[in-house]
Each structure stands twice: as structure tokens, then as C-alpha cells.
Amino acid sequence: MKSANHLFDFVIYKFQSLVLASLLLLFALVCAGCLSTHTYEENSAEHSFSDKRKALIEKFSVNDKVFSSLAAQIDLNDPESKDYWRWRIDQYMYGQYPEYQVIYDTYKQGKTFHQIYGLLPETLGPKSPLPTNIPDLPEGYFTENLEGNPHRGWQHVEDDTVYITYQGHLTDPYIASYNLVSHQWQGPYKAAESTLSKGDRKIDSHGRPIIEMDSKGHLHIVYGGHGGEREDGLNPFSIDTPHAGGRMLHVKSEKPYDISSFVYVNDITPFASYTKSYKMGNGDIYLFTRTGTHKSPWVYYKMKSGQQHFEEPVIITWPTPQQDNPVNVDTFYINPVKISDTEIAISFLWHECNFNEVHNKTNYGRINAYYMKLDTESGNFHNAQNEVLRLPITLKQANDKTLAFDSTKREETPFGTKPIILKGRTPAVAYEARTNDFREWRMTAYRNGEWVHSLPMPGTVNRTLHDSNNIEIMNIVDLEVLDKMAESLTAVVIYKTDDNKTIFAEAESHNGQNWRVTEEQLSLKNTRIQMEPVKNIINDTVAVVLNIKKGVSQRLYLWHEGKFRAPQIDKF
């Protein structure tokens, strides 16, 4: 009986094992079928995308030589070259032809950048090691030692308080406030985090922050951009790929008039580079930026009074590949300046760049000077002749309608520009003229229906400066008038001496032309000093911010009412 039971148990065990094995085999076959189906679907989607992409390239290439020019750059001996230029072609088509955007966005769902393009991680370093010894700078600063080029920060004056933001440690945005009456400081505090110079990336100064206050008292800081990150995908506002890193970001103070805590606002493109902003008489805020790296449009974002977010951008300029050599691209550098409660003047220069990222070290591809003006009430752009301009501005339209100085047949090239409004509201553009032998600011002005160039800067003709020993100063770097209403005008001035000293001093004049130093504030050898006026709502200069750099030492200072005003803290 026991033998029969054992035999029965053995048969049952074998049957169960056979059933289990069959089920496992069936499960494996089903999984293999699923995997096969998934792989088939993946391959089908890949082929479908490739076919659509190829069809669009063939369609657009009939009239657009950029595609063949970019494809011709592929180095068959470089394994990465094919994927690199496939990426560049994708970005060009994505920005130039919106029809491609839906096709590409569907294809990229669930894929990372490196799953789409077989490229090595980008190298944006190495970061220079921190110096162990730094030269001493005078007391009175309000920042830590700063790397890169933070310029003089950006300021906003509200009632009796100056709010200052600047690019601090590892290019993160910092903020401080100073009361013009009590002389009390708050901060500096780290306002937010930047992606620009983290890890082994070198310090990049393109992410300098700007600051504005909305009509509800909340502070807004925009910062950190130099073209965006590869992981952000393709840029709908550009024909150029990111190659410098750094997302443009926007933060808002959690509480009105409070600089201790900020929150992120997602309303601007992360690919943007450069920032400049102005608050108009009606409370609207205008933010000007370039929507990517070199071959990208310039736009403005508008935050209406009563709101706390920026609207969709208005495209001002558009880059255009050259017809005879499509690898080269004509684009611009713009510089907007608020000139009234309702107007923003814009100077700009032609920037000739290329898809190979080869930079002309002679003039850096910076050519000509142009002028136009934005009427914020109508939203129209006008040239010096007051003609309404059609947006976006291309090089052809710029040359036809806005050219203020043609440098193409001259030795001097304009490295930078800034708009000026002369007496009688005459349009003018200052440009930094450079040759191999000199570097100086000059002016072109619209007079009697035409532009006249190579003029001296306003206020510099017959201007003199004598030091306290009545010795004439020949090298005036900068002079900022403080009190324009008093009988005896006062100013702060930066000048250089023959023994390589840079002086920051107070000066006075009875006629606005002949100035005399009344008190030296700083006298530093082998040192660069830059100055930025801090202006109130009626455009009076109430203080100045100085950037003082000596070797690897660099700090910001606030000068107000005859003194350098420093926070009473010891963390620097």
C-alpha cells in the first residue's frame, strides 16, 4: 500500500513539475514576444521619424543651402562628427522651421540627450584653482572675493533703499540692500542656485543677474544663462545649439521688500544669454535677452504692472545665414537703455559668426553701429527718421533702415555700443572704436537728416580735470556728476596717472567743464576700478558701485555721501 502511495505521489510531483516548466516556457515566449513587439515598435518609430525628418530636409533644401553646408562639415574620420552635425542640423531645422518641432518632440519622448546623440559629455572646464594668496584691497567692500567678471552688479532703488544683486560664489546670484538714510545693510544673501559654473566648469560671467521690483513690492532676479544645457533639448527660439552651459532662471522674493527668501518662476526660456531690464513709468517691466548662443534672436519679455510673471517674448531680431556662404550667420549684439517713462532706445552692432564656432580675433566679427527706439505705449519700433520698423529685424533691414555708422570700409571697428539721447532729443550712438593702435569711445549722431560719425563723446570736448596740486589729469577714465542743481557741481571721477596709479576721487566744477579734485578716496597701483551710478526714480545719482580688481582680488564697494559703506559683518 505504501509503495502505491509513493508511486502516486511521484506521478503527481512529475506532473506538477511538467506543468510548471510549461508555464515558465510559455511566460518566456510571451515575454520574448512582448520584447520583440516592443523592439519592432521602437524600430518602426525610429524609421518613421527618420523618414519624416529626411522628407523635411529634402523639402527645405530646395531653397535653403544651410542643410547641405552643415552636412558638408561632417568629418568621416571622427566617430562623433556624424552625431554632432546631426544635432546641429536638428537644431537649425527646429528653430527655423516650426513644422519640425512636433515631429521631433514626439520622437524624443522618454529619451535623454545622450540616447539621441552619441556624443561624449561636454567639457566646459577646467576651473582655475583658487589662489592661496590674494593681494590686499582697501576695506569698505560689501562682497566676498569675486571670480570672473561680475561687472558692477545691477541695482534697483525704491524709496530710501538700494537693492543690489551681483554674481557671487560659483556664479550664484547674491542680493544685498542698503538704506540711504539709516546706512543700514541687509545681506548679502544667496538668492538662488545657478547651473553655469558648477563642478569642473570654468567661471563664466555671462550669467550676471538683474533685479527689478514689481508693483506689489516683490523683487525679481533673472540670472545664470549662457545658452542653456544640452539636457534641456532643442531650442524653439534659435538656430544654434548650446555650447557654453548655464540655464537662464527667474526667481521672485517670497515676501514684498524682503530679500531673505526667493522662489522660482517658470516663465522665460532657459536657453537665454545676457540680461538687461527697465521698469517704465506705468510699472511695466521690460526684460531684454538673447534667446540662446550667438546665432539666436534678441527678444524682450514684458511683465505688466500688477502681474508677477513675464508674458510670451516679442522677437526683435532674427539671425540669417549668408546666401553665398551659409556656414556664416549674420546676427546682432543689442544694448537697450531707458530714455523716458515710455521709451527705450536700442543701439546694436552686426555680429558675423559661423556654425564652426571659429571666432575672428581681429574684430571678433563686430561690425557697424545701428539705432532704433521702442515706444512702449504703442509697442512699435522706430528708426531715427521715426519710421515704424517691421519685426523681426534682419541684417538687410538693419542696413536699410537703422544704420548709424558703417565701419566696413574703415580701420576702426565698434566693439560695443550704447544709445545716447542728446539735447533736443537728437538720437545718437556711442561706440567703442578699436584698432591695433587705440581704443576709445566715440559717437555718431543724427544731425540734419543724416548720421555723422567719429564725434567726441558728449561733455568731453574742452573738459579739464586738475588734481589737488593743480596738475592737469590727461587720462580720465570715468566722471559721474552727482548734483546737477547746485551752483557748484559735484562729481566722482576715476583717472589714471603716469606712474600707473588709478585714482577714485571727488571733484567739483562751477561750469561743468573745468573740474578740480577736492578729495582723493582711493589711490591704487596696478589696479582696475570701474564705476556704476546708482540712480533713483528721477534719474539722480544717489550713490555709486565700484568694482575694484587687483590681480586675482576683486570686490564690490558702495560709495555714498563721501564714504564707502560696508556691512557690519565679518564673513568676508
Catalytic residues: 206, 274
**C-alpha triplet 461, 373, 425: angle, nearest 5°:** 40
Task: Quote the distance between the C-alpha of residue 326 and its chain's center.
Answer: 26
User: 314, exposed or middle or buried, with CB in 10 Å at 0-12, 13-18, 19+?
Assistant: middle
CB 390 within 8 A of CB 408: no
Residue 27 half-sphere exposure, CB side, CA atoms within 13 Å?
6
Grid cell, residue 386, equals 521715426
Task: Report how far residue 440's alpha carbon sits from residue 454's, in angstroms, rounded to the nearest whole number.
Answer: 10
**β partners of residue 287:** 277, 301
- Reported as type and span, the H/E element at residue 166 is strand 161-167
Burial of 451-481, coded b for 16+ CB within 10 Å and e otherwise, reads bebeeeeeeeeeeebebeeeeebeebbbbbb
CB 403 within 8 A of CB 370: yes
* HSE toward the beta carbon, residue 435, CA cutoff 13 A: 7
* 564, 183 contact by CB (below 8 A): no
3-state secondary structure of 347: strand
| Helices (runs of H) and strands (runs of E) counted in the chain | 6, 32
Separation of first and last alpha carbons in the chain: 95
Cα 96 to Cα 356: distance, rounded to the nearest angstrom: 18
DSSP letter (8 states) at residue 181: T
- DSSP, residue by residue, 246-298: ---EEEEESSTT--S-EEE---S-TT-EEEEEEE-TTS-EEEEEESSSSSS-E
C-alpha dist (Å) from residue 425 to 193, 379, 441, 444, 460: 42, 20, 20, 14, 19
CA 399, CA 324: separation in Å to the nearest integer?
Answer: 18
In DSSP notation, 134-155 reads -----S-B-S----S--TT-EE
Beginning with the edge strand found earlier in the chain, give each strand of the sheet holding 273-279 in spatial order: 273-279, 285-290, 298-303, 314-315
* Phi-psi map region of 553: left, alpha, beta (phi>0 left; psi -120 to 50 alpha): beta
Distance in angstroms (rounded) separating the CA atoms of residues 64 and 59: 9
CA–CA distance, 530 with 133 (Å, rounded to integer): 23
- What is the grid cell recorded at 270? 532657459
Q: Give the H or E element holding residue 28.
A: helix 2-61
CA 328 → CA 86, 96, 298, 522, 537, distances in Å?
18, 15, 18, 47, 43
